[in-house]
Amino acid sequence: MIRAAGYIFDFISAIVKIFMLLIFILFLPWLFLWNIQVQEHQIIVTTAGNNFKLGIEILSEEFLKNLTPSSDLSYAVGLITNQTGIDQKGNKTIDILLQKGLKIHTIFSPHHGFDGTLVANAKGSDTCDPKTNIPIINLHGKDGIKKLNKKNISSIDVFIFDLQDVGIRYYGYAITLLEIMYAAANYEKIIVVLDRPNPLGSCMEGAFGYGYANHKNNIESIPWRHGMTIGELARYYNAHILTKPAKLFVVPMQNYNRTFSQSNLIMSSLSPNLTSINSCYGYSFLGLLGEIRPFDVGIGTDKAFQCIMLPETFNFPRKKWKELGSLLEPLGIESIFYRYLSKRKQYYYSGLRLFIRNINNFSAYKTLLTIITFFKQSGISFSLSNYFDKVASAIVLRKLIMEIKNQKEIINELNINIQQFFNKAHTTFLYQPLPQPTMM
């Protein structure tokens, strides 16, 4: 009887062990996926010290008083800002300037509007800040820049610019800065730029714009990923792009190192699809890949610029996605298989979710070309969207993608241009280490 009971106990024990083994096997992949997703928020390689300060955080009353001949704070301010204009404690730039005694006459909101929620094709309207009742002129949209006219600027004495840029030439905030500087120069206004980090770190790489060889003194003379802060860009614009320089003051950051991880310094969504440091990293190459059909990069989802997808109607094999993941790993990208239903397009996509570990050791340009080459060799045909040229503004990149010209010749030209730009921009850099030209 005892022996029979022992057999029953052993049988039950064996069943339990098998059950536990099955549970372990079933949930191991999910545990792995969860672990990767947790690590996504642990990108910090070297963090800024406690003494790091943004431009807005070291703005002194003495500096502000000395901006105009009156040596007081009676001048009218035109503030260019949005939801990214905050300090490290979350205080808004608007409130900080008002507390310092400045008179903000008008707020100018950039692309995506005052709260950063306007999508690309949405119409933005002028309004007022609900807290202070200060009028807001919305520069969003193709006609927004036309509002930087004499009527809206004549009453302003000093422009103050405080926006968090993403570090890519064609992104809207860098373009807004240039337009504001043109207006300040033309109407003889002072402009103050409060500096902020470049989320994409120290690398300087990529194609220049259309007509670079013939127009080396416009925004097309800046490489795709420039490695500069918004304050350094302002200094470059003033020295090399504006034919009539503006009266520019840059308030630099304190204890900033461009190789520090920026994950704890980007304190607000930049736009509807740039909502985290991971989307900023991905935007460095997926911003262009998203303009190449038939790829999808998660626009309109919480994974925007963090994935590469194809419609499932393409029946692209899962083993091919694994092969692509293996190609991306040496470039500094970890990946997992990912699938989602696009609410915009009403069908399923599948592909890879991407995780960039160290943005300072990552080449966005090389990654983009690797992806394009892989899909071409895999038999995927594609075309450039109507918006591609407006975004990329780079005939060299179009040639590389469409293989119109020998790639080695183009890459050699790119490398020469990058080094020449670095040498030219050298005097406008504010921080050590300097941006690092990344050769192909």
By three-state DSSP, how is residue 128 classified? strand
Mean pLDDT of 393-404: 66
- Nearest 5 degrees, angle CA 341-CA 299-CA 435? 140
Tell me the CATH number at 168: 3.40.50.12170
Residues across the chain? 440
Shared domain check, 209 and 358: no
Residue 109 inside a domain? The answer is yes
Segment 355-398, tens digit of pLDDT: 999 999 999 989 998 999 999 999 999 888 877 766 665 566 77
Beta bridge partners of 138: 109
Q: How confident is the model at residue 346 (pLDDT cuts 50, 70, 90)?
A: confident
Judge if 289 and 143 occupy the same domain. no
Kindly indicate the confidence band of residue 405, based on its pLDDT and cuts at 50, 70 and 90.
low
Q: Residue 29's pLDDT band (boundaries 50, 70, 90)?
A: very low
Burial of 349 (0-12, 13-18, 19+ CB in 10 A): buried
Which string of b and e fits 401-429 if b means at least 16 CB within 10 Å?
beeeeeeeebbebbeebbeebbeebeebb
- Residue 428, domain member (yes or no): no
Residue 118 shares a structural domain with residue 231: yes
pLDDT confidence bin for 262, thresholds 50/70/90: low
Give the mean model confidence (pLDDT) for residues 189-216: 79
How many CA atoms lie less than 13 Å away from 329 in the CB half-sphere? 8
Average pLDDT of span 416-432: 95
Work out how many domains the chain is built from and give that number: 2
Q: How far apart are CA 415 and CA 229, in angstroms?
A: 22
> Does residue 23 have a pLDDT over 60?
no
Three-class SS state of 406? coil
- 87 and 157 housed in the same domain: yes
* pLDDT value of residue 98: 98
133 with 199, same domain?
yes
Q: Which domain holds residue 77?
A: 55-251
Residue 65 lies in a domain: yes
Which whole number is the average pLDDT over 423-438? Answer: 96
Identify which has the larger pLDDT, 341 or 20: 341
What whole-number distance in Å separates Cα of residue 22 and Cα of residue 279? 36
33 part of a folded domain: no
251, 285, 304: which is the final residue of a domain?
251
On whether residue 271 sits in a domain, the answer given is: no
* Arithmetic mean of pLDDT over the chain: 85
Are residues 287 and 222 located together in one domain of the fold?
no
CB 238 within 8 A of CB 246: yes
* Last residue of one domain, picked from the residues 251, 269, 293: 251
Do residues 160 and 292 share a domain?
no
Residue whose token pair is 């405080």: 162
What span, in angstroms and rounded, lies between the C-alpha atoms of 1 and 18?
A: 26
Which one is predicted more confidently, 112 or 218?
112
Q: Is residue 319 part of a domain?
A: yes
pLDDT in tens, 284-307: 999 999 989 999 999 989 999 999
319 and 208 share one domain: no
* Weakest-pLDDT range from 140-144, 176-180, 240-244: 140-144
What's the whole-model pTM score? Answer: 0.85
In a domain, 111, yes or no: yes
Q: Model confidence at 34, in pLDDT bands (50, 70, 90)?
A: very low
Residues 362 and 240 reside in one and the same domain? no
Residue 210 lies in a domain: yes
Query: Given strand 76-81, what is the order of strands in its sheet?
Result: 127-128, 135-138, 103-109, 76-81, 158-162, 190-194, 247-251
- Mean pLDDT (whole number) for 432-439: 94
Among 290, 297, 366, 300, which residue's Cα sits nearest to residue 327? 366
Looking at the DSSP bridge assignments, the partners of residue 311 are: 349
Q: Are residues 206 and 321 in the same domain?
A: no
Find out whether 193 and 55 touch, Cβ atoms under 8 Å.
yes
Type of residue found at 384? L
CATH classification of the domain holding 400: 3.90.1150.140
User: What is the token pair recorded at 361?
Assistant: 């050791």
- 336: tokens are 């997992």
Q: 306 and 201 share a domain?
A: no
Of 216, 251, 286, which residue sits at a domain end? 251
282 plus 133 within the same structural domain: no
